[in-house]
Amino acid sequence: LYVKAVFTGFRRGKRNQHENTALLKLDGVNARRETNFYLGKRCAYVYKAKNKTLVPGQKRLNRVRILWGKVTRAHGKSGAVRAKFRRNLPPKALGRRIRVMLYPSRI
Amino acid sequence: MSTPSAKTATSGGKSTTKTTTTVVKTTTTTVTKKQPQQLSLTPRSVSSKTKRPKTRPNGKKAISSHTNRELNAGGLMRFSRGRMFQRRALHRINKWKGAQAKLQGDKTKKTAGSIQKKKQRKPASVKKPVGGERNGKQRTVLAKRFPRYYPTEERPKKFSAKRKTFGSHARRFRSTLAPGTVVILLAGKHAGKRAVVVKHLASGLLLITGPHKLNGVPLRRINQIYVIGTSTKLDLSTAKFDNLDDKYFKRVRPAKKNAEKDIFDSKKEV
């Protein structure tokens, strides 16, 4: 139960980038007006690693790992969105899928 | 002849309209008091569109110059403190009230707004009789003695009773999540399933149920933020759920074993 999004890059000017804020392009969201629903929603960057670790809620060790964050504000006119993650996203994630969950819900 | 202008029909938000008089040659413009256009994004837009009643419950007319307004939910008020003082004309009102009080012969009151009457002051010093021949029979003694002890440090302050503990905070529930609403679960084991809101609990959580037989969602507590309210509502007014509260869901710890038991017994149990 999530909305698909793509990590398009870090917040940046032409020559400087600030890795603490990520830019996300949400699927189907093309106007700034439409981003209002997503503000505050939790996002997850899901990836796999070599070593297995414990995942909360599951008993078996898992290769899946998650970086959590949240959508903070809109970015630009065309439905892009800024998000801040608890730890900065790795550049490896550029162009990769990010899940924007539907909670915390306000409706 | 006067006709309302077409402009007012389409204006949004609060507007007090005055009718225009169409003269043959020129048309006078309407004087409409419009609120500044509120963004649809801010939650305040909902409340600003409801009309305030013209007369207050106590029968007095509501005067708009007495109220202050917040600009666009930014915490900025339309009128400053000094300006509001002028608009409310408190300086005149208080003066009038004082004059009224004086007319009624109440000379102890400076203004009608004084909360308590001035108490009859006790004399500061009292003359007390004193024994002994050559002691002058009387002594002037202070009626109220000075304290015997002045602490050098302030006492450590405890939290004032006004501070509310978290347990006594008011819990608010979204209007879309009234009991009986069908709701979509967003997270947890039952994410994606629809359930029914049974009750609002005192802790701020919602009590929901599948019902269990339909989709396997048990009687469960869930936070409002993990739930989307749909427009489908069921009528639960006839059913009672009095025994279902937060205590019902409290975790039950295994009872402690008696200390009086023999040590060997307890070892066997282990």
Quote the pLDDT of residue A71: 96
Q: Cα–Cα distances in Å, from A93 out to A6, A66, A103, B207?
A: 9, 12, 23, 39
The CATH number assigned to the domain holding A49 equals 2.40.10.190
Given a contact cutoff of 8 angstroms between Cβ atoms, the answer to whether A67 and A86 are in contact is: yes
Residue A48 counted as domain residue: yes
Quote the pLDDT of residue B196: 95
Residue A9 counted as domain residue: yes
Residue A88 counted as domain residue: yes
Given a contact cutoff of 8 angstroms between Cβ atoms, the answer to whether B185 and B217 are in contact is: yes
> Hey, is the C-beta of A107 within 8 angstroms of any chain B C-beta?
yes
Residue A15 counted as domain residue: yes
**CATH number given to B181-247:** 2.30.30.30
Q: How far is A2 from chain B (nearest CA, A)?
A: 9
- Phi–psi pair at B94, nearest 5 degrees: -65, -35
Contacts of A106 in chain B (CB under 8 A): 174, 225
Given a contact cutoff of 8 angstroms between Cβ atoms, the answer to whether B66 and B88 are in contact is: yes
Binned at pLDDT 50, 70 and 90, residue A88 comes out as very high
Residue A107 counted as domain residue: no
Q: Cα–Cα distances in Å, from A62 out to A51, A53, B60, B129?
A: 8, 5, 69, 94
What's the burial of B43, exposed, middle or buried (CB within 10 Å: 0-12/13-18/19+)?
exposed
> A58 is in which domain, residue-wise?
2-101
Tens-binned pLDDT, residue by residue, of chain B (270 aa) = 444 444 444 444 444 444 444 444 444 444 444 445 444 444 444 444 455 556 666 667 777 777 887 777 777 888 888 888 888 887 888 888 888 877 776 555 555 445 445 556 677 788 888 888 887 788 888 888 888 888 888 877 777 777 788 888 888 999 999 999 999 999 988 999 999 999 999 899 999 998 999 999 999 999 999 999 999 999 988 888 888 888 888 888 888 776 655 556 555 554
Number of domains in chain A: 1
pLDDT at A40 > cutoff 60: yes
Residue A12 counted as domain residue: yes
Q: Which of residues 2-61 of A touch B (CB under 8 A)?
A: 33, 36
B151 contacts: CB under 8 Å, gap ≥ 6: none
| Residue with token string 């899940």 | A99
Residue A106 counted as domain residue: no
Please judge whether B225 and A1 are an interchain contact, meaning their C-beta atoms are less than 8 angstroms apart.
no
Quote the pLDDT of residue B261: 58
Binned at pLDDT 50, 70 and 90, residue A32 comes out as very high
More confidently predicted of A33 and B167: A33
Question: Residue-wise over B114-136: b if at least 16 C-beta within 10 A, else e?
Answer: eeeeeeeeeeeeeeeeeeeeeee
Is the bond preceding A104 in cis, omega lying within 30 degrees of 0?
yes
Contacts of A103 in chain B (CB under 8 A): 186-187, 225-226
Return the H-helix or E-strand segment holding A68: strand A61-75
Interface ipTM: 0.87
Domain residue ranges of chain B, discontinuous segments joined by +: 75-105, 181-247
Using N-to-C axis directions, what is the helix angle for B90-103 and B81-88, rounded to 10°? 40
